[in-house]
Structure 1
Amino acid sequence: MSAAEETGGESSPWGEVTPEAARRLLVAAVDAFAERGYHATTTRDIAGRAGMSPAALYIHYKTKEELLHRISRIGHDRALLLLETAADSDGTASERLADAVRSFVRWHAERHTTARVVQYELDALGEEHRTEIVALRRKSDAVIRRIISEGVQAGEFDVPDIPGTTLAVLSLCIDVARWFSAQGSRTPDEVGDLYADLVLRMVVAQR
């Protein structure tokens, strides 16, 4: 399944990207990077998938790395927004953690092709762009860590190692992009519900 055909009801992650040619190039780059890997993909590959010439690509993106950075930035911004929205909502720590995991997992399932590139091509970014994206990833880590910490303080969670548990939760969620298939037996919503339940079982204090 291509990035343009991914599962899910939310609007395209490239909705704010204009003009249309720039969006087509992002979708083509996601498909190429997901299929061949960043280093094995050429700008000619990307332009061809977008139905454009290599020269036309450079009007919108100066380098292949700039394309990857744009994809990564949009994806990480979206992921952080989902987590922050859940974390800042009303409800107990258990409810907010479940909502955060559910929405984070659902996005990685619905946008599995895009999410694989966003999450697993970090090392291909240049130093400046990589530093920027790592900072966004740390913000996501901080959001989950805050919810778990608040749950521990409230007596809802029994978590002796908050940083380690935060890493485990995020890793579990992100890995959905690696294995999810729209032809599989579970929908993105079902996977989100399953993972929310699993994470709560990891952290909720035993009565």
Structure 2
Amino acid sequence: MTGETEVTDVATQPTESGADLTRSRLIEAARKAFGEKGFHATTTRDIAAAAGLSPAAVYVHHRTKEDLLYAISRAGHEAILTDMRAAIAGAPEVAGKLEAVVHAMVLRHTREYAAARVVNYELDGLSAQHREDIEKLRAQIQGIVRRLLRTGVADGSFVVDDVRITSNAIVAMAIDAARWYRPATDPAPDRIASHHARLAVRMVAAAG
């Protein structure tokens, strides 16, 4: 040690640019507007007003209203995939992995229920190319659950008559929590997530 005070050069620290901040404001405003009015009923003027910007400013950062929906949907699906992969890595055996995966999915869909409704229930507003991209992400989500079910069947942990149908049911159950969840009247997200996670394991567990 030299005894000198270390000085951090603030100018070298990464910061979010003004353009990035504006894009973030627009995405958040669009997410809120789509959630309240639906994609088709929302206008560019609605989004701009919610973001405190002029309608022309929207087109500086996003070519169309649909581009905003795609950005929101892609970010939401990628976040779920990240949660699921982390959940798998943190559990030692297949039943624990399935429970952790469902818990992670339901937790995000209830904590961020308003955004999750846009991500999952406004897909018909996407262009064909963007819808194809999102469907690939959704296939990855389904694939994670199907692989867990197949692994559990192979090692005797699970009994599943039809892996595809069962995985569809489990994923649908997790996603649908966003549709019916109401923070003012429903239990806390963690409690709902734990309940769904245990239920998913009971659906497939082999008799002990």
Residue 36 of structure 1: aligned partner:
37
**CA contact 1:69–1:125 (8 Å) conserved in 2:** yes
State the percentage of identical aligned residues: 41
Q: What secondary structure sits across from 2:182 in the alignment? A: coil
Structure 1 position 134 matched with structure 2 position 140: no
Residue 3 of structure 1: aligned partner:
none
Q: Which of structure 1's runs of 4+ aligned residues deviate more than 6 A? A: none
Report the TM-score when normalising by structure 2.
Answer: 0.89
Report the TM-score when normalising by structure 1.
Answer: 0.89
Task: List per-residue Cα deviations over 1:8-54 (Å, max 9, x = no partner).
Answer: xxxxxxx9x96111111111111111111111110001111111110
Residue 110 of structure 1: aligned partner:
111
Q: Which one scores higher on RCO, CA 8 angstroms, separation ≥ 6?
A: 1
Task: List per-residue Cα deviations over 1:117-154 (Å, max 9, x = no partner).
Answer: 00111111001100000000001110010011101111
Structure 1 residue 89: Cα displacement: 3.8
Residue 10 of structure 1: aligned partner:
none
**CA contact 1:87–1:143 (8 Å) conserved in 2:** no
Unaligned runs of 5+ in 2: 1-15
CA–CA distance in structure 2, aligned partners of residues 90 and 196 of structure 1: 13
The within-5 A match list for 1:141-156 is 141-156=142-157
The within-5 A match list for 1:120-131 is 120-131=121-132
Between the two proteins, the alignment pairs up a number of residues equal to: 192
Residue 180 of structure 1: aligned partner:
181
CA–CA distance in structure 1, aligned partners of residues 90 and 138 of structure 2: 21
CA–CA distance in structure 2, aligned partners of residues 98 and 150 of structure 1: 14
CA RMSD of aligned residues (A): 1.5
Deviates further, 70-79 or 86-95:
86-95
Unaligned runs of 5+ in 1: 1-14
Residue 21 of structure 2: aligned partner:
20
Q: What secondary structure sits across from 2:120 in the alignment? A: helix
CA–CA distance in structure 2, aligned partners of residues 182 and 90 of structure 1: 29
Residue 168 of structure 1: aligned partner:
169
Structure 1 residue 185: Cα displacement: 3.5
**CA contact 2:110–2:178 (8 Å) conserved in 1:** yes
Residue 71 of structure 1: aligned partner:
72
Larger Rg: 2
Change (3 A) 1:177 1:90: closer
